[in-house]
Structures are given as structure tokens and as C-alpha cells.
């Protein structure tokens, strides 16, 4: 089993601030996905990264996949209360492998 470690576990910030969530492993992943889950909902896919060094942007969210494909980060610029949620990273060892989840980072953005 490949372990994904997410940090921090919890993050509380004011609206307008920036934040970064990290997802690290000692193993290589063929792809890595980031999800956001709000209370009472299922996880919603934000992005899939597959290439080492890849950077993807989704409005104020920037996702990076490490060169060695062992780690990833999610950076949110000028956070808004709507960004509040549980952020989950999940990696796959190969295209047909099981999706392994990190423990999640609970982000709270207060007005």
C-alpha cells in the first residue's frame, strides 16, 4: 500500500489570504487527483495530474505534481468562504491500480 501524507490536517484562514496544502509520498504515482468535499456531499474532482512537473490552474487554484511524481501541492490564492471544505489527494500507482487517499485537509475560510 502506498501511503499519501497530507499536511496540514487543518487550516483556518481569513478571506483574502493564500494557502497551500501538501500531499507527499515515498512512492511514485502514475497520476494524482485532488478532490474537495463539502459537508453532506460526495468528493468533487478538482483536477488530475499525470506528468511529473505538471502545473494546472483552475481559477484561483494552482496544482503542481512533483518532478518525481511522488508529491503534489494545491495552492489557493485569495481564498474565499466558498473554498471551505475537506481537500483530499488521491494517487494511483498505475492506470489500473486502486486509488489511495490521503487523510485530508480541512480548510475553513472565514469572512
Chain contacts with another protein (rule: CB under 8 A):
30-31, 33, 35, 40-45, 48, 50, 88, 90, 92, 95-96, 98-99, 101-104
DSSP readout, 8-41?
Answer: -SEEEEETT--EEEEEE-SS--SEEEEEEE-TTS
C-alpha pair distances (Å), 6 with each of 15, 16, 62, 95? 22, 23, 16, 22
CB of 24 to another protein, least distance (A): 15
CB of 111 to another protein, least distance (A): 24
Which residue, 33 or 109, is less far from another protein as judged by CB? 33
Which residue, 77 or 106, is less far from another protein as judged by CB? 106
Whole-number Å distance between alpha carbons of 6 and 104: 6
Which residue, 30 or 110, is less far from another protein as judged by CB? 30
Amino acid at each position: 500500500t502506498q501511503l499519501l501524507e497530507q499536511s496540514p490536517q487543518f487550516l483556518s484562514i481569513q478571506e483574502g489570504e493564500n494557502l497551500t496544502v501538501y500531499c507527499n509520498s515515498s512512492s511514485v504515482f502514475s497520476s494524482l487527483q485532488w478532490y474537495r468535499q463539502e459537508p453532506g456531499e460526495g468528493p468533487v474532482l478538482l483536477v488530475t495530474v499525470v506528468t511529473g512537473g505538471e502545473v494546472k490552474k483552475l481559477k484561483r487554484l494552482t496544482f503542481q505534481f512533483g518532478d518525481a511524481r511522488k508529491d503534489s501541492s494545491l495552492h489557493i490564492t485569495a481564498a474565499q468562504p466558498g473554498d471551505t471544505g475537506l481537500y483530499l489527494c488521491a494517487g494511483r500507482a498505475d492506470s489500473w491500480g486502486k486509488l489511495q487517499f490521503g487523510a485530508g485537509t480541512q480548510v475553513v475560510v472565514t469572512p
